[in-house]
Structure 1
Amino acid sequence: MAGVLRADRVWVETFTGLRVAQFAGLLKVVRERGGDGTLRGRPWSLPLAERVLLVAVYYRTNLTMRQLGPLFGVSSSTVCRVIQRLGPLLALEPMTRPADGPDRLWIVDGTLVPVRDRSVGASSRSYRFSANVQVVVDADTRLVVAASRPLPGTTADAHAWRRSGLAPHCEGVTVLGDGAYLNTGLIVPHRKRPGRPLLKGEEEDNAEHRKVRARVEHVIGRMKNYKILRDCRQRGNGLHHAVQAVARMHNLALAA
């Protein structure tokens, strides 16, 4: 099976969600970040391309390390070391603020990711344990601008946004959020108040707001095609590295 993965581009595309040219872009990023170095002088049993492929397959399929080992012809402990070494090197670099910032539109939304690590997640209504991740998306390109570090799943979106550190990065750009981001400085829908129905113009504004804001939900849905974001077994910074890597792979698949 490992030989098939090396030889047939169909397997690369099937297991990673990236075309071969897009995967080459991912490989280039990892190489430039020093991923080709040896581990304490000990040579890797797989070439760099195979190791990057292993990490991408892990994030895409969420197979266990015992399952990935035979697929690549290595031990489960080697799989673990490869993921720990290369996972952080796949991370997305937050987009710089565009020159036409006031005319650009970014959208933010939070998503819950089921986790096993109780030091990262918290019990929430949707899942037994989950983490809240804030995702900022460019409304025109659907590219992920930035993603926050995970917070416990019980954290409200407005509070998670304030703690995410993403607000300074979005200064000078119009950012949309849903009603959960009230009093955060983001553009949110008009609120209904007791005894005061929405005016016709406000209803139209809210309809347009929902239509545009749905784009971030579509992006998050595509990101969750990488099954690591449906049930993350990683500990510590593992979920953060997974989110950043998935965001980069999503951007590569969309932009190329």
Structure 2
Amino acid sequence: MGVLRAERVWVEAFTGLRMEQFGRLLRVVWERGGNGTLRGRPWSLSLAERVLIVAVYYRTNLTMRQRGPLFGVSSSTVCRVVQRLGPLLAIKPLSRPTGAADRLWIVGGTLIPVRDRQVGASSRNYRFSANVQVIVDAETRLVIATARPVPGTTADAHAWRASGLAEHCQDVTILGDGAYLNGQLVVPHRKRPRRPLLPGEEADNAAHGKVRARVEHVIGRMKNYKILRDCRQHGNGLHHAAQAVAHLHNLAIAS
């Protein structure tokens, strides 16, 4: 018997979503064509159970062999489900917001350990990691977008410019830390040799840091999904996982 049919509490414990939130996720996957069959072969699991398999994977980072017995299927079936539905759980593409002049977004980068040598690089966290840029709405704490991963040795400013996300944020005020100098973002005042910060600048930096910390809090909550602590996926696997986790995070904090 699948976990979904067994008991409601297991869905909430394994995914971090309430049942109504999981239902909204299920509708999104359905609308994106997730109920289609694979080469004419019907799935042995319902769409809800297949979406749950992917959500459980991102939440727990269990291996294919560990997840298979939970749903009474083989590890190869679990692998096919993740490959088929993983991209369909992605957050909606970034769009120009209404009332952009009054919006405040925050960008932050995080290092995610990966196994794929073509995606990651030996990084300052002493792991083989990839750099993922995340944009968060300062007021709602919702994730607006995540960029495609780049090697972990890439500086945040370069990763931001290479992501292409700046093109969609023309009319929005974007906050960043001191690593985003010369990136058309609002950054803290910089200390220079033999030139201490003025009292007003120190107050500005304190206020800036207090607001910018919200993106770090969001990234920390996203990493409750263990896939972002040690991603074993190759190719586009980390990109799909980061976008799906952003979607799951937004569902979890929505009222």
CA distance in 1, matches of 2:161, 2:170: 13
Structure 1 equivalent of residue 175 of structure 2: 176
2:120 is equivalent to residue 102 of structure 1:
no
Deviations 1:181-209 (A, max 9, x none): 00000000000111110000000000000
CA 1:152 to 1:4, structure 2 compared with 1: closer, same or farther past 3 Å?
closer
Taking the TM superposition and a 5 Å limit, the aligned residue runs for 1:209-220 are 209-220=208-219
Q: How far off is 1:3 after superposition?
A: 4.2
CA distance in 2, matches of 1:53, 1:218: 26
Match of 1:167, SS state, is: helix
Structure 2 equivalent of residue 25 of structure 1: 24
Structure 1 equivalent of residue 53 of structure 2: 54
CA distance in 1, matches of 2:104, 2:145: 14
CA distance in 1, matches of 2:97, 2:124: 37
Letter in 2 for 1:153: G
Q: Is the 8 A contact 2:3 2:71 kept in 1?
A: no
CA distance in 2, matches of 1:177, 1:157: 10
Structure 1 equivalent of residue 239 of structure 2: 240
Letter in 2 for 1:229: L
Q: Structure 1: which 5+ residue stretches go unaligned? A: none
Structure 2 equivalent of residue 113 of structure 1: 112
49-58 vs 96-105, which moves further: 96-105
Stretches of 4+ moved more than 3 A in 1? Answer: 2-5
Match of 1:34, SS state, is: coil
Compute the TM-score of the two structures, normalised by the length of structure 2.
Answer: 0.98
Structure 2 equivalent of residue 80 of structure 1: 79
Q: Is the 8 A contact 2:68 2:74 kept in 1?
A: yes
CA distance in 2, matches of 1:131, 1:99: 32
Structure 2 equivalent of residue 158 of structure 1: 157
Q: Is the 8 A contact 2:2 2:70 kept in 1?
A: no
Total equivalences in the alignment:
255
State the percentage of identical aligned residues. Answer: 80
Q: How far off is 1:127 after superposition?
A: 3.3
**What RMSD over aligned residues (CA atoms) do the two structures have, in Å?**
0.9
CA distance in 2, matches of 1:185, 1:67: 46
Structure 1 equivalent of residue 184 of structure 2: 185
Q: Is the 8 A contact 2:108 2:134 kept in 1?
A: yes
Letter in 2 for 1:110: G
Q: Structure 2: which 5+ residue stretches go unaligned? A: none
Letter in 1 for 2:186: I
Structure 2 equivalent of residue 250 of structure 1: 249
Compute the TM-score of the two structures, normalised by the length of structure 1.
Answer: 0.98
Deviations 1:15-34 (A, max 9, x none): 00000000000000000000
Q: How far off is 1:98 after superposition?
A: 1.9
Letter in 2 for 1:87: G
CA distance in 2, matches of 1:18, 1:32: 20
CA 1:163 to 1:4, structure 2 compared with 1: closer, same or farther past 3 Å?
closer
Match of 1:111, SS state, is: strand
Q: Is the 8 A contact 2:2 2:72 kept in 1?
A: no
Deviations 1:94-131 (A, max 9, x none): 34222211111000000000000000000012032000
